[in-house]
């Protein structure tokens, strides 16, 4: 099974790299990524598409007809359409979501983008998100920033910021945990 996973990872890397290279050459990286994200979203949301893309009993010609129709409706573009046809012929369409994630990583790397993730106790309003992004961009000295946001009520209040393999925990939960440790040590020494 690990060999199959290794082969799948290799296919994901190869297809993402090829798609990225073609898109970069055509100066359409973001448009290509957006098209790939649209079709991957359709795949993730549709059990029928998942069955069609993963069931080896469906003939490649049938799958290709569906892909032609999806391309027409979603206006995916020639590059993505060719990639999908190649994946269909190799019976690897199920890898599409992973290919999109890898392509996102390659584009972020190419652009020198810094990725960050903020987990907050409450959902941040749009103006709060904008303020956080602006403050972080000032500190990054011009590097593009890609932030994702998540809510986790167990933090009680505050937030946890992870950026470039560094974590800054300013949550009430972690402050209470630190206070607990201090009190526990003090109690042990008395």
- pLDDT tens string 31-54: 998 999 998 998 888 898 888 888
| Local structure of 163: helix, strand or coil | strand
Residue pair 37/100 in contact by the 8 Å Cβ criterion: yes
Name the band, by pLDDT with cuts 50, 70 and 90, for residue 1. Answer: very low
Closest CA to 145 of 103, 117, 106: 117
Number of domains the chain contains: 2
Residue finishing a domain among 94, 109, 124: 109
Residues making up the chain, counted from first to last: 190
Whether residues 165 and 179 fall in one domain: yes
Domain end residue (candidates: 64, 91, 109): 109
Residue 117, SS3? strand
43 and 73 part of one domain: yes
Kindly state whether residues 158 and 181 are assigned to the same domain: yes
Query: What is the mean predicted confidence (pLDDT) over 129-152?
Result: 82
Q: Do residue 142 and residue 81 come from a single domain?
A: no
Domain end, chosen from 76, 109, 142, is at 109
CA–CA separation, 169 and 189 (whole Å): 28
pLDDT at residue 59 is higher than 90: no
97/184 same-domain check: no
Give the model confidence (pLDDT) of 69-116 as tens digits: 888 898 998 999 999 999 888 888 889 999 998 998 888 888 877 888
């Amino acid at each position: 099974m690990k060999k199959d996973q290794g082969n799948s990872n290799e296919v994901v890397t190869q297809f993402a790299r090829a798609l990225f290279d073609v898109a970069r050459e055509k100066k359409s990286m973001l448009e290509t990524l957006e098209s790939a994200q649209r079709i991957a979203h359709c795949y993730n949301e549709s059990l029928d598409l998942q069955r069609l893309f993963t069931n080896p009993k469906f003939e490649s010609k049938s799958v290709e007809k569906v892909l032609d129709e999806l391309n027409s409706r979603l206006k995916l573009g020639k590059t993505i359409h060719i990639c999908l046809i190649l994946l269909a012929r190799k019976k690897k369409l199920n890898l599409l979501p992973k290919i999109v994630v890898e392509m996102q990583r390659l584009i972020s790397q190419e652009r020198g983008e810094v990725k960050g993730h903020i987990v907050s106790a409450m959902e941040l309003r749009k103006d709060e998100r904008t303020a956080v992004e602006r403050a972080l961009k000032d500190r990054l000295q011009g590097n593009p920033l890609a932030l994702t946001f998540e809510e986790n009520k167990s933090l009680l209040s505050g937030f946890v910021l992870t950026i470039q393999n560094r974590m800054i925990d300013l949550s009430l939960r972690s402050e209470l945990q630190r206070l607990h440790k201090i009190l526990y040590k003090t109690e042990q020494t008395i």
